[in-house]
Structure 1
Amino acid sequence: MSNPTLPDGLAQPLERFYQYLHSEKGLSLHTQRNYRQQLHTMAEHLATMGVKNWQQVDAGWVRQLASKGMREGMKASSIATRLSSLRSFFDFLILRGELSANPAKGVSAPRKQRPLPKNLDIDEVTQLLEVNEDDPLAIRDRAMMELMYGAGLRLAEMISINVKDINTFSGEIRVIGKGDKERKVPFAGKATEWVKKWLKVRSQFAKSEEKALFVSKLGQRISHRNVQKRMSEWGQKQSLASHVSPHKLRHSFATHMLESSSNLRAVQELLGHENISTTQIYTHLDFQHLAQAYDQAHPRAHKKKDD
């Protein structure tokens, strides 16, 4: 039977589709219930907007259904599931000759945002980098961490640095980033100090023909996995509450640079991002910080003292 809360033009095709899922597609009861719930919710919304049948629904209506999900706080994955059920239903109507085209085909769900690692705060970074051991491998590890945090390097970028690519006098590193794009990155202070210390002991491990700046105890270019493992171990050894990873150091660099300078373009160049939108996603200034920057900088934002 059709659902009495919906016009027949919406309800009856849905009932035929549910029967089709049960008898011909053989989907699990869980999947069938999910389809039914998603489609009924969308049909109810269309009915309240005056839509009488599925032939009235075009891409604009489908986009409105997706937008409604976003306004209700649905996750991107849930909206994608909702649109997928709608596309399957319209494909069924096309198969039965009740529609000529699928209006949901060209409508995409919002992109899932990649969860970014929580950055270390400045005190945590200081705690992590208080490594003053004389062991050559400890010197190497601190030099790597200082360089990743001091220059905002990607893990792959740091590993690929050769000795000839780094100039401790001018404070410059030649880096090959994503897409084999070359850029020069500045570094200074503690990063310079510890890279110099590492260069003094590097020959204890590096084979004579090895070009890599950072090598393992086997004398070869250090691996991604080795760096990740060593940084995680240093986080534990230095009693940090949160897990330490190379990407978290890069993320911390970006966050702290942006909070200090508010210069999004400069941070974009330092990170080697092609699009500034990537930098905006990568960093996460809280609104209060932005509001304070606005109040201080915008000529029309200042209140008169006698207000």
Structure 2
Amino acid sequence: MTRPSEDDAAPPLTPPLSTYLDQARHQRKLAPRTLQIYEDGLRRLQHYAGADGVDLLRLSIQQARRWAGRLHRDAGLAPRSVALELSVWRGLYRWLGKQSRVELNPFDGLRAPKAGKPLPKALSVDDAVQLADHHDDKAHPAIEARDACIVELLYGCGLRISELTGLDLHVTKASAGWLDVAAGEAQVLGKGSKRRSVPLGGKALQALQAWLALRPQLAAADEPALFVGRRGARLQAPQVRLALKQRALAAGMPAHVHPHMLRHSFASHLLQSSGDLRAVQELLGHAHITTTQVYTQLDFQHLAKIYDAAHPRAKKK
């Protein structure tokens, strides 16, 4: 959390703020970092009270709301830092209330502004193709074929990792998902136990055929799972993450690659090419279109970069 700029002179805290901080230090034995957050918050509260001529023991709800707004607007604190500061102020007034020094806690019910939801990270088209085309000649042929197929299904079909690991070779009563190679489809079980059909592209089908030809080298005789580990049993999510991480490093990817990043890349690249948000929603298995709309922001970022790089009006003098 950024320290208040008005605290450069570090004026001493006055009671009851100094007493509350001492209580937190000696009785609650808070960690040094937590104590610093408390002190920063109390100093800012003292500054606001002094600047506005307000007695902290008679602070109104309206004044408390104005100060809470200043944290974000004037002090420039991020939503998480605002939430920490308000927590310190609420704690102070809760403590004062227990001592019957205030009649109400003016910060009860005040919440920090919601932090913006970070956009999912996606690979560029070139990086995604580079990862998909990577071949490790030193790897065990079956492992290499399996991992190549995993990349094709994650990036080429937009599968979740649970949908990928749940795939069986053939449908059974216990199957969460299965392949229909003849139809060029995979039947997967997504969130909320909703089943959907996912088309398999040409590259994915080629990778599947290559993996299926070598799968008997690893799989136990009665193992129904499409993807198996070195011991012949169904591949689990942590194993997929590790295999993908190692493959991405070997392929020279610029950032840590995880399975969901390939799903994001699938959606983003498909939307860039087609512009069909509803189709992307259906392929991803999103229950609500608002979940899919985040990829329109990724698409806009892609277009903005092209504009900045190419348009004469965007070039800086």
TM-score, normalisation: structure 2: 0.73
TM-aligned CA deviation for residue 289 of structure 1: 5.3
Contact 2:271 2:299 in 1 (8 A): no
Give the Cα–Cα distance (whole angstroms) in 2 for the partners of residues 55 and 262 of structure 1.
57
Q: Is the 8 A contact 2:97 2:103 kept in 1?
A: yes
Q: Hey, what does 2:180 align to over in structure 1?
A: 167
Is 1:188 matched with 2:201?
A: yes
1:215 and 1:107, CA in 2 relative to 1: closer, same or farther beyond 3 A? same
Aligned residue identity for 2:191: K
- For 2:233, which of 211, 216, 220 is the aligned residue? 220
The corresponding residue for 2:7 is none
Distance (Å, rounded) in 1 between the aligned partners of 2:296 and 2:69: 26
Residues 75 and 150 (structure 1), Cα distance of their counterparts in 2 relative to 1, 3 Å cut: same
State the match for 1:273 in structure 2. Answer: 286
Aligned to 1:78: 81
- 2:308 corresponds in structure 1 to none
Cα 1:291–1:116, aligned 2, differ >3 Å: closer, same or farther? closer
Q: Give 1:301's aligned residue.
A: none
Residues 100 and 180 of structure 1: CA distance in aligned 2, closer, same or farther (over 3 Å): farther
1:137 aligned residue: 143
Q: What is the TM-score with the length of structure 1 in the denominator? A: 0.75
CA distance, structure 2, for counterparts of residue 196 and residue 261 of structure 1: 28
CA RMSD of aligned residues (A): 3.5
Structure 1 residue 94, shift from structure 2 partner: 0.7
8 A Cα contact 1:148 1:246, kept in partner: yes
How many pairs does the alignment contain?
283
Is contact 1:131-1:138 (8 Å) kept? no
CA deviations over 1:180-223 (Å, ceiling 9, x no partner): 33333333221122123322332333223211111123221112
CA contact 1:159–1:223 (8 Å) conserved in 2: yes
Q: Which amino acid aligns with 2:169?
A: V
The residue aligned with 2:154 is 148
1:25 deviates by: 4.7
- Determine the structure 2 residue equivalent to 1:207: 220
- The answer to whether the Cα contact below 8 Å between 2:268 and 2:299 also exists between their aligned partners in 1 is no
Aligned-pair identity in percent equals: 37
Distance 2:276 2:70 in 1: 35
Q: 1:1-307 to 2 correspondence within 5 Å?
A: 13-18=16-21, 20-21=23-24, 25=28, 31-45=34-48, 52-58=55-61, 61-71=63-73, 72-111=75-114, 118-131=121-134, 135-164=141-170, 165-281=178-294, 284-285=297-298, 287=300
Other structure's SS at 2:188 match: strand
Q: Secondary structure at the match of 1:129?
A: helix
From the superposition, tell whether residues 101 and 116 of structure 1 become closer, same or farther in structure 2 (CA, over 3 Å).
same
- SS of the equivalent of 2:298 reads coil
Q: Distance in 2 between matches of 1:203 and 1:27?
A: 58
Which range moved further: 145-154 or 242-251? 242-251
Question: Cα–Cα, structure 1 residues 218 and 43, in superposed 2: closer, same or farther, change >3 Å?
Answer: same
**What CA distance in whole angstroms lies between the structure 2 residues aligned with 1:174 and 1:255?**
22
CA contact (8 A) 1:255 1:285 kept: yes
Range that drifts further, 62-71 or 233-242:
62-71
Distance 2:54 2:280 in 1: 49
Give CA-to-partner distance per residue, 1:243-273, whole Å, 9 cap, x none.
Answer: 3321221221122223333444433333333
Per-residue deviation, residues 11-41 of structure 1 (Å, max 9, x unmatched): 7543553454466555567655532321332
CA distance in 1, matches of 2:50, 2:288: 42
Q: Say whether the 8 Å CA contact 1:254–1:283 is kept in structure 2.
A: no
Q: Following the alignment from structure 2 to structure 1, what is the Cα–Cα distance between the partners of residues 229 and 47?
A: 63
Contact 2:119–2:298 at 8 Å: present in 1 too? no
Range moving further from structure 2, 229-238 or 87-96: 229-238
In structure 2, the partner of 1:297 is none
Taking the aligned partners of 2:23 and 2:179, their CA distance within structure 1 comes to 66
SS where residue 209 of structure 1 aligns?
coil
Segments of structure 1 that go 5 or more residues without pairing to the other structure are: 1-10, 293-307
Can you list the C-alpha shifts for 1:82-125, whole angstroms capped at 9, x where unaligned?
Answer: 01101111101211213334343323334556766642211111
| Alignment-mate amino acid for residue 145 of structure 1 | V
